[in-house]
């Protein structure tokens, strides 16, 4: 009897902290995700334009093109990704003025540092959409 095929879900991680990006890759790979990493929003847009992703894990505070600007551009170019973002930030959402933005996107926000189990739960929820 043939073994069932594992379906690898393509996920884009957009994170300017290299160590955190690699940790996210490790955790998500364990969750059957095929992970690509972009170090900023510009690189992420380039990757979104050349490959299909089931989800985007996106830092909100990045240089050049931040997570909010990336999300808005991604929604214009790839509307199917609008509810496929998981945002992460080192800033408390309310202090950073992000509460309304997150609410409008109908996506989840994890505040750094976050527990790996919370990340796993959030990515499972996202991939079920």
- Residues lower than pLDDT 70 in the chain: 1-6, 92-96
Query: Is residue 107, in this structure, part of any structural domain at all?
Result: yes
User: What integer pLDDT is reported at residue 23 of this predicted model?
Assistant: 95
User: What integer pLDDT is reported at residue 10 of this predicted model?
Assistant: 97
Query: Is residue 21, in this structure, part of any structural domain at all?
Result: no
Domain that holds residue 48: 39-128
DSSP labels for the chain? -PPPPPPPEEEEEE-S-HHHHHHHHHHHHHTTEEEEEESSHHHHHHHHHHS--SEEEEES--SSS-HHHHHHHHHHH-GGGTT-EEEEESS-TTTTT-HHHHHHHT-EEEESS--HHHHHHHHHHHHH-
Query: Is residue 57, in this structure, part of any structural domain at all?
Result: yes
Record the pTM: 0.91
Query: Is residue 24, in this structure, part of any structural domain at all?
Result: no
Query: Is residue 6, in this structure, part of any structural domain at all?
Result: no
Domain holding 47: CATH number? 3.40.50.2300
Query: Is residue 22, in this structure, part of any structural domain at all?
Result: no
User: What integer pLDDT is reported at residue 3 of this predicted model?
Assistant: 55
User: What integer pLDDT is reported at residue 50 of this predicted model?
Assistant: 97
Query: Is residue 15, in this structure, part of any structural domain at all?
Result: no
Query: Is residue 61, in this structure, part of any structural domain at all?
Result: yes
How many domains are contained in the chain?
Answer: 1
């Amino acid at each position: 009897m043939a073994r069932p095929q594992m379906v690898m879900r393509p996920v884009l991680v957009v994170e300017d902290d290299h160590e955190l990006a690699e940790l996210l890759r490790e955790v998500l790979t364990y969750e059957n995700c095929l992970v690509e990493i972009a170090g900023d929003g510009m690189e992420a847009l380039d990757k979104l334009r050349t490959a299909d992703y089931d989800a985007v894990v996106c830092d909100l505070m990045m240089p050049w093109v931040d997570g909010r600007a990336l999300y808005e551009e991604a929604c214009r170019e790839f509307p199917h990704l609008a509810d496929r973002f998981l945002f992460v930030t080192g800033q408390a959402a309310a202090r950073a003025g992000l509460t309304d933005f997150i609410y409008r996107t109908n996506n989840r926000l994890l505040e750094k540092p976050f527990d790996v189990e919370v990340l796993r739960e959030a990515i499972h929820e996202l991939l079920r959409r």
